[in-house]
């Protein structure tokens, strides 16, 4: 199998300003990995919590939710009622049961929206103050965008380990 170059190794992304290239590269890398590792992942394993840790379903919901919320704060906007609903839902299946493909698609859409916002972000405003959450914790536009990328990649790593563990355990049964 031929090893594919990581997104950052493929060069600059068109229409993304230089200071935001690392954020865009990380988000696109995360999307590629999520799509690859979740292909064919059984729905029955989605909510298993190995060793009491977070489930694959939680990580998928959280990846989308945090990306949406942090990019909202970067735009100096408050969260919508729908965003609060999604936050409350993280880690829970719905009555009819989530399909893996639906959660992956939700993440893909969120990355697409983040990429549009990155392309529209003016570098001159990157150091502008942004309050986070109800407490208005201090950050900046660049701080939030960097955190979104870093947090996304951290959870993708956790998701990959979770998937490997639950698939391995399922094969033993």
Q: Going by C-beta distance under 8 Å and a sequence separation of 6 or more, which residues neighbour residue 107?
A: 31, 34, 60, 63, 64, 67
53-98 per-position pLDDT tens digit? 999 999 999 999 999 999 999 999 999 889 988 888 888 877 678 8
Q: What is the model's pLDDT at position 13? A: 97
Global pTM reads 0.93
136-159 per-position pLDDT tens digit? 899 999 999 999 999 999 999 999
Pairwise pLDDT comparison (173 vs 30), residue with the higher score: 30
């Amino acid at each position: 199998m031929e090893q594919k170059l990581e997104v950052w190794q493929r060069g600059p992304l068109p229409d993304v300003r230089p200071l935001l290239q690392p954020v865009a590269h990380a988000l696109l890398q995360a999307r590629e990995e999520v799509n690859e590792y979740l292909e064919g992942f059984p729905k029955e394993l989605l909510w298993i919590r190995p060793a009491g840790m977070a489930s694959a379903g939680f990580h998928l919901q959280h990846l989308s939710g945090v990306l949406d919320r942090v990019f909202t704060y970067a735009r100096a906007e408050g969260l919508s009622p729908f965003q609060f609903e999604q936050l409350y839902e993280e880690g829970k299946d719905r009555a009819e049961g989530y399909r893996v493909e639906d959660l992956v698609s939700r993440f893909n859409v969120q990355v697409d929206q983040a990429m549009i916002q990155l392309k529209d972000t003016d570098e001159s405003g990157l150091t502008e103050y942004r309050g986070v959450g109800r407490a208005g914790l201090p950050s900046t536009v660049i701080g939030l965008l960097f955190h979104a990328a870093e947090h996304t990649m951290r959870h993708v790593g956790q998701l990959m380990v979770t998937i490997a563990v639950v698939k391995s355990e399922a094969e033993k049964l």
